[in-house]
Chains A and B, each alone.
Chain A
Amino acid sequence: MRTRGTIAVAVGSVAALILVGLALLAPMEVRHSAPFGFALTLDRERGIAVRGGFVTPNYPGFNRVDLDLRAYHPEADYDLAVFVRPDRPGASDLRAVPLSLHGERIRHDKAVFADPFVTVRFPPIAESAGSRYYVRVEVGPRNRDDVVSLWSIKSYSGARGVDVLAAFLQTRSGERATPPARAVLLGLFVLFAAAFGWLVAAVTGFALRASGRRFDPPR
């Protein structure tokens, strides 16, 4: 019985440590703040579609855009280039990414359950937090006469969970101007991790009992 309990506690502790480690330190791509997740560039009411739009990363390390591209020849191959530059007069492009896509992938009438976005990754732009960038798509010579438009843009930064949580703690406690708020929130995160470990341990112990496994040495 004691062995079973030990196993459960060990599993719970390891699970909690892994959760905390992955959540805080594993690199991930966080989506920037935008209504419905994207910056809309299509003006549906006026029927205006363009090839560029603005995004505002709220994290440093801007390294990805997801583009909802639309084209009208599903059988064609498209040579495209994606450019990213700061939104200020005279600014030059910071990133340029070539993109080859089959027309089926960016057809204008995408299937209802299809992912409408094409992901484009580029080397991170370090000081991107709070700056506005213009993202545009240009077509290559062989598609010069084809219509390609950009309906919406999602943007992302490479970050770690610890950066995301730190931003939350700073903003939240800053808003309230009460240092204890940060301590309370931090305490809640610690409690969450501890409760997760406790739950995993309890469920593991329960599962071991339910499966009737015996780990005690024979007497």
Chain B
Amino acid sequence: MPRIAPRPVAVSAIRRPHSRREGTREESGRGDRAWLGPLLFLFAVKGVLLAAMVGPFTGHDEVDHFFYVARLAEGNGLGVVGEVDLPPEAEPFAAYVADYPTNAEVIHPPLYHALLVPLYAIGSPAGIEDRLLLLRLFSVAAGVGVVWLAASTARLLFPGDVLFRVGVPLFVAFQPQLSFEAAIVNHDVLLILLVSLVLHLTLGGLRDGFPARRQWAIGLVGAAGLWTKASFGLVLPVVGLGLLLVWWDGGGTWRELIRPIGRALGLPLLLVAPWFLRSWLLYGDPTGAARLRLIPEYGDQARSYGEMVSSASFWRQLLEDFWGNFGWRQVPFDPDGFRAVWVVWLVALAGILVGAARRGLPSNRGARRPPQWTVFQRRGVGLLALSVALLCFGVLYVGTIQFTQARFAFPAMIGFATLTLLGVAGWLPVRARPAALPLLVVLLTGLNVVVALRYLLPFYYGPGGGAAILP
């Protein structure tokens, strides 16, 4: 069975930074269970609460996704954008539909919606809002999976650094908009889960090699991702680069590269080909982007890459969307809240440069010098950074078609978290890092609580009536 694996010489070049054999209890990951269990539990409780708090059908595209599921559950087939209208039950929520009465989301592949059909069927005796709540719980479960993968990926990359091992999953679990994604009905949460999984598998391959089983696994996850949303394709170059790096280290021949590439990258494209072909026949391109451009008010907002990149207001909007605009931007943070988060985040990210300087300064040698990264760690962080760059490019690409949002980059959230913690690590001496962990929990939980109490709950509920734009 062909296998991409580092040669013995190369293995030493991609050696494990703190091998599991040498690891302490914490380094082995077993010690992580003590805090990972409570974190996952807290995230799940927070997710269920959010699912109950957020007004019915006020999540972005939630109406369309819900009735896409309903359509499949009722045996009405996939549908074509422009020909499929939302049912009368959706009318009260028309303000939350991009192209009412058309269901624009049927342009997307149906894996997420098909997975929800059994849940929809279980909830069908109940009212529409209870069914919505039931489907939202699927998103909560997917979100728990994302947090677990964040912890697992951080432990894979930095087994000896507690700041990363705890900080990365904390960042993911408490990023307000990711939690929101994981509490509404939307296929993006499944996309985030599958991208996180494929990145984890790829980084694992970078460390341990890519046996055939891993190649198949990546291929199947990739197929699932493409059947969830075409934008999963943005992460395939990361997989390809991971394969190439390990193949390069192993000194293999071109012929030895063909099968792994075929399994990990060719298989998903082959499996999703029927859907792309269908979209091409129906809309004139494999992803249906041309049809999306026709949505009034959304397509009108399309701009060139140059216009977006050079626009300060575009970047401000992206930053606001990334952290604080809930439900079609209806529930934003206040400007002081945004600025507080941005300042903290930018200071954290600036630590990347500080950390690099501390490593490089001649005066900073010996015990004060931060630990050096191994080749595997450098490459792993590089691949995560590449995933961030590619998903950000995806945000810009959507902006050339229609109205775009920062949430399209959320599948790279583990990359965002790792880069942020890399910055935090730049400011913190190694000895001080453990002490920062409880503070991080308190600060991030505090952010979530304040946002819920000051903005989210008062938007929907109040003694005088909330949800100003709901019927």
* B42 near A58: Cβ-Cβ < 8 Å: no
A144 to B330, CA, bound (A): 36
Pair B334/A31 contact, Cβ less than 8 Å: yes
Contact A206 B26 (CB under 8 A): yes
How near does chain A come to B329, taking the closest CB pair, in angstroms? 6
Minimum CB–CB distance from B95 to chain A (whole Å) comes to 9
Chain B, residues 435-471, CB within 8 Å of chain A (1/0): the string is 1011001100110011001110111111111111100
A216 interface hit (Cβ, 8 Å): no
Query: Within residues 161 to 181 of chain A, which ones have a CB less than 8 A from any CB in chain B?
Result: 161, 164-165, 167-168, 171-172
> Is the C-beta of B255 less than 8 angstroms from some C-beta in chain A?
no
* B373 within 8 A of partner (CB): no
Complex alpha-carbon distance, A112 and B26, angstroms: 46
Asked whether B463 lies within 8 Å of A31 as measured between CB atoms, the reply is: no
Q: Which residues from chain A contact B53 at a C-beta distance below 8 Å?
A: 168
Let me know if A195 is at the binding interface, CB within 8 A. Answer: yes
- Assess whether A185 is in contact with B38, with CB atoms less than 8 Å apart: no
A200 to chain B: which residues have CB within 8 Å? 438, 441-442
Q: Which residues of the other chain, A, contact B463 by a CB distance below 8 angstroms? A: 58-60, 129-130, 167
- What residues of chain A lie closer than 8 Å to B450, measured between beta carbons? 28
**Closest residue of B by beta carbon distance from A20:** B449
Q: If A192-B46, A199-B441, A210-B434 touch, does A117 touch B162 (CB 8 Å cutoff)? A: no
Contacts of B331 in A (CB 8 A): 37
Q: Are A32 and B458 in contact (CB under 8 A)?
A: yes
Q: How far is the CA of A31 from the CA of B335 in the complex (A)?
A: 12
Residue contact B469 to A35, C-beta cutoff 8 Å? yes
A159 to B462, CA, bound (A): 11
**Cross-chain contact B42 with A131 (CB below 8 angstroms):** no
Looking across the interface, which residue of chain A has its beta carbon closest to that of B333? A37
Q: Verify B438–A204 contact, CB threshold 8 A.
A: yes
B162:A131 contact, CB within 8 angstroms: no
Q: A168 to B42, Cβ gap below 8 A?
A: no
Question: Which residues from chain A contact B469 at a C-beta distance below 8 Å?
Answer: 35
Q: Would you call B48 and A188 a contact (CB within 8 A)?
A: yes
Q: Does A56 contact B (CB under 8 A)?
A: yes
User: Is A203's CB under 8 angstroms from B441's CB?
Assistant: yes
For A164, what are the chain B residues with a Cβ–Cβ distance below 8 Å? 453, 457-458, 461
Contact between B437 and A19 (Cβ–Cβ < 8 Å)? Answer: no
Which chain A residues numbered 194 to 211 have a C-beta less than 8 Å away from chain B?
A: 195-196, 198-211
Indicate the member of B162, B329, B453 with the most A CB atoms within 10 Å. B453
Q: A201 vs B463: C-alpha distance in the bound complex, in angstroms?
A: 36
B166-A206 in contact (CB<8A): yes
Cβ contacts A7-45/B at 8 Å (1 or 0 each) = 000010001000100010000111111111100000000
Contact assessment for B438 and A203 in the assembled complex, using a CB-CB cutoff below 8 Å: yes
Alpha-carbon distance between A164 and B435 when the two chains are bound, in angstroms:
33
Let me know if A19 and B453 touch, CB within 8 A.
Answer: no
Q: How far is the CA of A18 from the CA of B463 in the complex (A)?
A: 26
For B438, list chain A residues within 8 Å (CB).
11, 15, 200, 203-204, 207
Given contact pairs A115-B339, A210-B162, A203 touches B464 in the complex (Cβ within 8 A): no
A116 to B332, CA, bound (A): 14
Our pick among B25, B35, B458 for the contact of A203 (Cβ within 8 Å) is B35
> What is the number of contacts between chain A and chain B, taking CB atoms within 8 Å?
176
Contact (Cβ within 8 A) B455 A31: yes
Q: How far is the CB of A27 from chain B (nearest CB, A)?
A: 11
Contact B468 A195 (CB under 8 A): no
Contact assessment for A195 and B449 in the assembled complex, using a CB-CB cutoff below 8 Å: no
Residue B316 is within 8 A (CB to CB) of chain A in the complex: yes
- B252 CB–A CB distance under 8 Å: no
Closest to A211 in B: B434
Tell me, in angstroms, the Cα distance from A188 to B330 when the chains sit together.
Answer: 25
B34 / chain A contacts, CB cutoff of 8 Å: 202, 205-206
Question: Is B435 a contact partner of A207 (Cβ separation < 8 A)?
Answer: yes
Which B residue sits closest to A198, measured CB to CB?
A: B38
Interface centre among B26, B42, B460 (most CB of A within 10 A): B42
Q: In chain B, what residue has the closest Cβ to A196?
A: B445
Contact call B336/A37, Cβ cutoff below 8 A: no
Most buried by A among B32, B52, B329, B461: B461
A167 and B461 within 8 A (CB): yes
Least CB distance, B157 to chain A, in whole angstroms: 17
Are B441 and A192 in contact (CB-based, < 8 A)?
no
Closest residue of chain B to A129 (Cβ to Cβ) is B464
Q: Please encode chain A, from 95 to 121, with 1 for each CB lying within 8 Å of some chain B CB and 0 for all others.
A: 000000000000000001101110000
Contact A189 B49 (CB under 8 A): yes
> Would you list the 3 A-B pairs with minimal beta carbon distance, nearest first?
A130-B464, A58-B462, A129-B464
Q: List 16 A-B contacts (CB under 8 A).
A: A19-B446, A28-B454, A59-B462, A115-B335, A130-B463, A130-B465, A161-B453, A167-B458, A168-B460, A171-B460, A195-B45, A196-B42, A199-B441, A207-B435, A207-B438, A209-B25
Interface residues of A (CB under 8 A from B): 11, 15, 19, 23, 28-37, 56-60, 66, 112-113, 115-117, 128-131, 154, 161, 164-165, 167-168, 171-172, 185, 188-189, 191-192, 195-196, 198-211
**Given A203-B35, A206-B35, 17 extra CB contacts under 8 A:** A19-B445, A31-B454, A31-B459, A33-B458, A128-B464, A129-B462, A165-B453, A165-B457, A168-B457, A192-B42, A196-B42, A196-B441, A199-B35, A199-B445, A200-B442, A205-B35, A206-B166
